Chain A
Amino acid sequence: MTAAGNKSPVKLPNEPEITPQIVAEHGLAPDEYQRVLDIMGRPPTMVELGIFSAMWSEHCSYKSSKVWLKKLPTRAPWVIQGPGENAGVIDIGDGQAAIFKMESHNHPSYIEPYQGAATGVGGIMRDVFTMGARPVANLNALRFGDPAHPKTRHLVSGVVAGIGGYGNCMGIPTVGGETNFHAAYNGNILVNAMTVGVARTDRIFYAAAAGIGNPLVYVGSKTGRDGIHGATMSSTEFNEDSESKRPTVQVGDPFVEKLLLEACLELMATDAIVAIQDMGAAGLTSSAFEMAAKGGLGVIVELDKVPMRETGMNPYELMLSESQERMLIVLKPGREDLARRIFEKWELDFAVIGHLTNTERMVLSWHGDIVGDIPIPPLVTEAPMYERPWTLTPLPAEIEASAVPAPTDLKASLLTLMGCPDLASKAWIWKQYDHLIMGNTAIRPQDGDAALVRVPGGHKGLAMTSDCTPRYVQAHPETGGRQAVAEAWRNITATGARPLAVTDNMNFGNPTKPEIMGQFAGAIMGMVEACTALDFPVVSGNVSLYNETEGRPILPTPTIGAVGVIDDIAKAVGSRLTKAGCALVLIGDTRGWLGQSLYLREICGREEGAPPPVDLAVERRNGDFVRGEIAGGRIAACHDLSDGGLLVGVAEMCLAGGTGALVTLPANIGAPHAFLYGEDQGRYVAATDDGQAFLAAAAAAGVPAILLGYAGGQALVVEGHLTLPLDELRAVHEAWLPTYMNSAT
């Protein structure tokens, strides 16, 4: 078969004329459609229009965000592959690479929480194993609406079950993440899923096609009618009709994905693969397109050869279906039988559905007729890219500690905070995730600032975390962006691991509004500063815009997923306080910053003020010191201070390890409630055997540190202020989520 050149393709029976209404339904603006006409030199067929619509959707093209994403630092000596592939790749030594990415599945999860979340997990795992890595861990960052909102309980229940249902069956441990609640997410929850995998550095697979005439192979599940136009759906705002979009949510089958994982890894151990790409958003369209475009080649796809789940499917549906658990592979010539045997062993579909050409065109055939013929380069180079107007959020006025009332009862205030939705134990969630399978989980959820997983077959550990404080980003996006990166870096540091790289999941509202675009721009500016200052490049990411319902945007949420490495996992520490008699040392300066603190929100009912500033030089200095002390074996447990401040941090260490603490407030600290609940950045609490030696080492390094007290007993005591038995603290901390989930709607 040869390419059709610029001849008009055949029209299918019942194919409608392209009207302005059909164009609008495909999410293309009139000027964008004019570009389509200019590229094609004729009106497109329906399947061609569908392809432009998907490829130029916000989800696939990053048309509003690209100009900003380019500003992020993406290089470092240890970066093997930065953004632009299925996932980022970093060198972790010994010929091994960590491959990871975070991706959102927000809109589908709101419409159908179980399947939406499940297929989000399935999709991100495919992104990672497509590149040759066996996934070793999953994380997820979830943001739900107000617990009092009538839909929230149902969404939490469905999303958590969906994440567990998929990850548990795949046999990949789900080891970490975060969960927040805020009314701004009432109509638009966030489900951000991250997967980390490990591969050999000389066995990494990419998407760029090569070799004219090489066969294009389809493997995995059959194609059905699910998820058609998912990419376009997730690129628009929600309204009251969104419920009717349920059929655009994909349905996942983790069992098939498990088979696909094993089959792909088995094939990858041979030399048969030229290029491989999973079929994610925009399905066959984007996978075939990206493989050909990255290779500078053309492709012929014989759509009638695609394995179909239903009868009567047409080219439009086949190209735009987002059926799950499918991969597209370019094989070396003559390797078809070898590959077919592997996929048939795993009881998966295998079909040669086309081949590569030198035409730089994507040609679609259907029972011998050409039904689509699109030039590939202009669809990429002429893709819309917008420099949308943006207005930065001004920095709110600082709130002095003196303007924030002290609690009438310190104990009651601590119990309120430890039992509030954002700080309460999330055990109800993570106990539904298999976090132990593979036998490599060294730091479990709630036992450390980052999860820690052994790299199979050795002594190295990968530390991983996901972080964002949306209320800080809302108050001042630049500070919030900086803080999200710094906290991720700090969480990895607190285990003793070296932070290496970041994956970002940018969740924002409608980018055509200048203030929303300004939030995006501001967050990126802050992230650029922090990633640069901390040598913490961004290697992969995902953008989710239009997170609005009826015009109300979410809190701007640039979720930062991060990975670090520790060469000897036996030297890593968690945050569990287990050893009575250890000295507790506070590292970093405390001003008592209460603006945007959880104390201000939960105790005073105010969401106000400037968020705590992040001094990146101080952050680095303090973190490098802490990491060095952990490496030297001088820290038994370590916890960074973030939401809730010092007292909450110490309380969390006590609960995790089942050991109490006696804290003596130093002199000259100003208002105790600001000292105890302020959310100043760049701080850690470390437990150490020799407090005085530790303080001396800190002083020598120019790092502020003070002795807080000692571990021991079965109560959290702040001398002269508070005595709280751990059992009482634990009961409150652990009660909220199960009680909430079990109460009637």
Chain B
Amino acid sequence: MKAAVLVFPGSNREGDVAQALELITGRRPAMVWHGDGDFEKTDLIVVPGGFSYGDYLRCGAMAAQSPVMAEVKRRAAQGVPVLGICNGFQIVTEAGLLPGVLMRNAHLKFVCSDVHLKVETSQSLFTNRYQAGQVIRVPVAHAEGNYFADADTLKALEDRGQIAFRYCAPDGTVDGPLGKQANPNGSINNIAGIFNETKTVLGLMPHPENAVEPMFGGTDGIGLFEGIVEALS
């Protein structure tokens, strides 16, 4: 599987995701500079975390207008899988590949911590290695991860099974006070990650790339990358 990782001025988790991809696929991904609107053909495009353009204007808003994102949109329309993590989720949302918006965390502070996620479906190329309902532990690190969408959009997302991950208590509880406590940013319906309608685009705030080695954050993120490899090979 060939992967491309985009690099914007201010990206800073591109190395983390490249390291994870290399570890799991055995192949170093191509690093694609934001000005490069014509990069080589790849099986997967990753939009990594960071502070693209210093988060000026609005997180992800400027990166969404870059030449490389115009090309990403074209390829996504052709069905090339796109994975947006953290700032990458913000960017693909700003670019219109996913609905909704990521707002400032409800408590207004940056939060870096392990969280528990409930895998909502195994029926996607990103989540086929997990069981629906499985709880995984991965870290978050962001100040603007508070997902919001209007009621109609939200209903459509829920009805079509486009919710990929939700924040949950260690036992998988999403609702009630335990669910609320487990939500690190105030995200609506505890949403941590969503798909597009065809489930070829995934945006999520948590960092599975920082949970691929036992000593360095655990191994619960491996399934996501292995699943992609399996689906695309």
Residues of A within 8 A of B (CB): 161, 164-165, 168-171, 253-256, 258-259, 346-347, 430-442, 454, 569-570
Q: How many contacting A-B pairs (Cβ < 8 A)?
A: 84
Q: How long is the Cα–Cα vector from A346 to B9 in the complex, in angstroms?
A: 7
Contact indicator B10/A432 (Cβ below 8 Å)? no
Contact indicator B216/A441 (Cβ below 8 Å)? yes
User: Is B53 interfacial (CB 8 A cutoff)?
Assistant: yes
- Chain A residues with Cβ under 8 A from B55's Cβ? 169, 255
User: Is B50 interfacial (CB 8 A cutoff)?
Assistant: yes
Interface contacts beyond A168-B141, A346-B9: sample of 10 additional A-B pairs, CB < 8 Å, sorted by A: A161-B109, A165-B110, A168-B143, A171-B12, A258-B9, A347-B9, A430-B112, A431-B111, A432-B109, A442-B215
Shortest distance from the beta carbon of A504 to any chain B beta carbon, whole Å: 29
Contact of A434 among B20, B109, B110 (CB under 8 A): B110
Contact of A255 among B53, B109, B216 (CB under 8 A): B53
Interface SS of chain A = mixed
Contact flag A253-B215 (CB < 8 Å), given A164-B110, A436-B112, A439-B209:
no
Shortest distance from the beta carbon of B214 to any chain A beta carbon, whole Å: 9
Contact indicator B210/A437 (Cβ below 8 Å)? yes
**Residues from 133 to 152 in B contacting A, C-beta threshold 8 Å:** 139, 141, 143
- Chain B residues with Cβ under 8 A from A165's Cβ? 110
Q: How long is the Cα–Cα vector from A434 to B16 in the complex, in angstroms?
A: 13
Q: How long is the Cα–Cα vector from A171 to B15 in the complex, in angstroms?
A: 10
For B7, give the chain A residue with the smallest CB separation: A262
Contact of B217 among A171, A433, A436 (CB under 8 A): A436
Contact indicator B12/A436 (Cβ below 8 Å)? no
For B54, give the chain A residue with the smallest CB separation: A255
Contact indicator B112/A258 (Cβ below 8 Å)? no
Q: How long is the Cα–Cα vector from A367 to B157 in the complex, in angstroms?
A: 64
Contact indicator B111/A432 (Cβ below 8 Å)? yes
Contact flag A432-B209 (CB < 8 Å), given A170-B12, A347-B9, A439-B20:
no
Shortest distance from the beta carbon of B181 to any chain A beta carbon, whole Å: 13
Contact of B112 among A254, A435, A439, A442 (CB under 8 A): A435
- Chain A residues with Cβ under 8 A from B9's Cβ? 255, 258-259, 346-347
- Chain A residues with Cβ under 8 A from B210's Cβ? 436-437, 439
User: Is B13 interfacial (CB 8 A cutoff)?
Assistant: yes
- Chain A residues with Cβ under 8 A from B216's Cβ? 439-442, 454
- Chain B residues with Cβ under 8 A from A569's Cβ? 215
- Chain A residues with Cβ under 8 A from B109's Cβ? 161, 432
Interface size class of B (residues with CB under 8 A): 20 to 34
Shortest distance from the beta carbon of A238 to any chain B beta carbon, whole Å: 29
Q: How long is the Cα–Cα vector from A738 to B112 in the complex, in angstroms?
A: 16
Q: How long is the Cα–Cα vector from A439 to B209 in the complex, in angstroms?
A: 8
Contact flag A436-B139 (CB < 8 Å), given A259-B10, A431-B113, A570-B215:
yes
Contact indicator B112/A433 (Cβ below 8 Å)? yes
For B12, give the chain A residue with the smallest CB separation: A171
Contact indicator B217/A255 (Cβ below 8 Å)? no
Contact of A258 among B51, B212, B215 (CB under 8 A): B51
- Chain A residues with Cβ under 8 A from B112's Cβ? 168, 430-436
- Chain B residues with Cβ under 8 A from A171's Cβ? 12-13, 50-51
- Chain A residues with Cβ under 8 A from B111's Cβ? 431-432
Shortest distance from the beta carbon of A260 to any chain B beta carbon, whole Å: 11
Contact indicator B141/A434 (Cβ below 8 Å)? yes
A-B contact pairs, 24 of them (CB 8 A): A168-B51, A168-B143, A169-B51, A169-B55, A171-B13, A254-B51, A255-B54, A255-B55, A256-B54, A258-B10, A259-B10, A432-B111, A434-B112, A436-B207, A436-B217, A437-B13, A437-B16, A439-B19, A439-B210, A439-B212, A439-B217, A441-B216, A442-B216, A454-B215
For B13, give the chain A residue with the smallest CB separation: A437
Contact indicator A439/B16 (Cβ below 8 Å)? yes
Which A-B residue pairs are the 7 nearest by beta carbons?
A171-B12, A255-B54, A434-B141, A169-B51, A434-B112, A439-B16, A432-B110
Most A CB contacts (10 A, CB to CB) among B54, B215, B217 go to: B215
Contact indicator A438/B15 (Cβ below 8 Å)? yes
- Chain B residues with Cβ under 8 A from A254's Cβ? 51, 54
Shortest distance from the beta carbon of A676 to any chain B beta carbon, whole Å: 32
For A441, give the chain B residue with the smallest CB separation: B216
User: Is B158 interfacial (CB 8 A cutoff)?
Assistant: no
Q: How long is the Cα–Cα vector from A440 to B210 in the complex, in angstroms?
A: 9
Q: How long is the Cα–Cα vector from A254 to B51 in the complex, in angstroms?
A: 10
Q: How long is the Cα–Cα vector from A133 to B55 in the complex, in angstroms?
A: 26
- Chain B residues with Cβ under 8 A from A436's Cβ? 112, 139, 141, 207, 210, 217
Q: How long is the Cα–Cα vector from A433 to B110 in the complex, in angstroms?
A: 7
**Residues from 1 to 35 in B contacting A, C-beta threshold 8 Å:** 9-10, 12-13, 15-16, 19-20
- Chain A residues with Cβ under 8 A from B16's Cβ? 437-439
- Chain B residues with Cβ under 8 A from A441's Cβ? 216-217
Q: How long is the Cα–Cα vector from A258 to B55 in the complex, in angstroms?
A: 13
Q: How long is the Cα–Cα vector from A442 to B109 in the complex, in angstroms?
A: 24
Shortest distance from the beta carbon of B94 to any chain A beta carbon, whole Å: 17
User: Is B213 interfacial (CB 8 A cutoff)?
Assistant: yes
- Chain A residues with Cβ under 8 A from B213's Cβ? 439
Q: How long is the Cα–Cα vector from A233 to B77 in the complex, in angstroms?
A: 58
Shortest distance from the beta carbon of B7 to any chain A beta carbon, whole Å: 9
- Chain A residues with Cβ under 8 A from B209's Cβ? 439
Q: How long is the Cα–Cα vector from A347 to B33 in the complex, in angstroms?
A: 13
For B217, give the chain A residue with the smallest CB separation: A436
Q: Interface digits, B194-213 against A, CB 8 Å rule (1 contact, 0 not)? A: 00000000000001011011
- Chain B residues with Cβ under 8 A from A432's Cβ? 109-112
- Chain B residues with Cβ under 8 A from A454's Cβ? 215-216
Q: How long is the Cα–Cα vector from A734 to B91 in the complex, in angstroms?
A: 35
Q: How long is the Cα–Cα vector from A12 to B110 in the complex, in angstroms?
A: 48
For A253, give the chain B residue with the smallest CB separation: B54
For B112, give the chain A residue with the smallest CB separation: A434
- Chain A residues with Cβ under 8 A from B10's Cβ? 169, 255, 258-259
Shortest distance from the beta carbon of A710 to any chain B beta carbon, whole Å: 26
Q: Interface digits, B103-145 against A, CB 8 Å rule (1 contact, 0 not)? A: 0000001111100000000000000000000000001010100
- Chain A residues with Cβ under 8 A from B54's Cβ? 169, 253-256
Q: How long is the Cα–Cα vector from A203 to B56 in the complex, in angstroms?
A: 34
Most A CB contacts (10 A, CB to CB) among B53, B111, B113 go to: B113
For A161, give the chain B residue with the smallest CB separation: B109
- Chain A residues with Cβ under 8 A from B143's Cβ? 168
- Chain B residues with Cβ under 8 A from A259's Cβ? 9-10
- Chain B residues with Cβ under 8 A from A433's Cβ? 110, 112
Most A CB contacts (10 A, CB to CB) among B12, B109, B139 go to: B12
Shortest distance from the beta carbon of B13 to any chain A beta carbon, whole Å: 6
Shortest distance from the beta carbon of B212 to any chain A beta carbon, whole Å: 8
Q: How long is the Cα–Cα vector from A169 to B56 in the complex, in angstroms?
A: 12
Contact of B51 among A255, A346, A430, A570 (CB under 8 A): A255
- Chain A residues with Cβ under 8 A from B141's Cβ? 168, 434, 436-437
For A258, give the chain B residue with the smallest CB separation: B10
Contact indicator B217/A258 (Cβ below 8 Å)? no
- Chain B residues with Cβ under 8 A from A347's Cβ? 9
- Chain A residues with Cβ under 8 A from B13's Cβ? 171, 437
Q: How long is the Cα–Cα vector from A347 to B54 in the complex, in angstroms?
A: 13
For A134, give the chain B residue with the smallest CB separation: B15
Shortest distance from the beta carbon of A154 to any chain B beta carbon, whole Å: 15
- Chain B residues with Cβ under 8 A from A434's Cβ? 110, 112, 141
